[in-house]
Amino acid sequence: MYKLQQKLLVLVLLLFLTLITVLGFTFSFKESFYNEIPLWGLGMSKRSNKENTTVDSSLPLNLPDFVRPNRTCKVPIGSDRANLPPCTHSLFRSYYSKMASYPECGAWVETAGYGYSQRYILDFCEFKPYNLPECSLRNGLHHILFTGDSVGWRTYLSMVNTSIWAGSNCHLVKSEGPKSKTPSTEYFSVGHRSLNESFVVAERKCAWCRGNVYDCEMQTGNGYHNVRLEFAPAYKFRDPSLTIIPGNPRWRSAETFQEFLFSTYLPMVGIPDAIVMPFPLNHELGNSQLVADFQSLVDLI
């Protein structure tokens, strides 16, 4: 468990800049993930991981002067972004301290043909490339689990798409199926009939929240590195959509989906090297037990 916690911290640092792009934003899709259009879009060329570079140290590292409360949102486009500072942890801390809110001024760009792979830009900083294959190899990451609601699902898909776009060979291992609010007991029972029959199923309240697994062969300087990218849907901190009642003679009881996930499902399919949980979870809005529910999830993990 200690090793898992260490690797969790590593990946949270790696993906922070990716996750921040989806915080607080809602968007729709023109294509279904389950149709026959490639995830990376029609005619999109693959890009080499060699393009991933370090941040240019000559760029400014402070917030631009125009970042101030109650400003009018205007997103620089194209060459106007040349002098923006790189999006870093310290820059976001400065933004939070000054604005007391998540970044809310941005725009979708390069959306033609991407489907799920649209790129989001902010007004005050520029995201720089990172090298997931080399980073995952260096930190011994072979299995990365994403979990959460539709924000987590979209972030997971963006990671799959980015990997494919960068030249990785990714193939679908299994999927919970098309858009639906009904959890798939067959998917999570992993071939165990008695487990399938033990589930108590409730509506998930999130149609896009569907379990999914991709295996990606990523090219590094030392050869190929295999990484499993997995998504486990959990639209609340205490997700009631798939549970097991006490007294079951063969399977451990679970009051929430997360309890089943960590106590039964992951030990069967393999404990991940890192867990990514994008925020916010919009389904928690109005939950008077939010703090207690979040603490119970932390205690469970």
Q: List, for residues 168-212, the tens digit of each pLDDT value.
A: 999 999 999 999 999 999 999 999 999 999 999 999 999 988 999
Residue 110, in any domain of the structure: no
CA–CA separation, 7 and 161 (whole Å):
22
What is the residue type of 120? Y
Q: pLDDT tier at 108 (50, 70, 90 boundaries)?
A: confident
Residue 80, in any domain of the structure: no
CA–CA separation, 24 and 231 (whole Å):
20
Residue 255 reports pLDDT greater than 70:
yes
Residue 62, in any domain of the structure: no
Comparing 47-51, 128-132, 164-168, 274-278, which segment has the lowest mean pLDDT? Answer: 47-51
Residue 12, in any domain of the structure: yes
Q: What share of the chain is helix, strand, coil (3-state, %, to 5)?
A: 30, 20, 50
Q: Which domain holds residue 12?
A: 2-19+130-300
Residue 111, in any domain of the structure: no
* pTM for the whole structure: 0.70
How many domains does the chain fold into?
Answer: 1
Residue 52, in any domain of the structure: no
136 burial level (CB within 10 Å; 0-12, 13-18, 19+):
buried
Residue 56, in any domain of the structure: no
Residue 122, in any domain of the structure: no
CA–CA separation, 202 and 287 (whole Å):
18
pLDDT of residue 51: 37
Q: pLDDT tier at 118 (50, 70, 90 boundaries)?
A: low
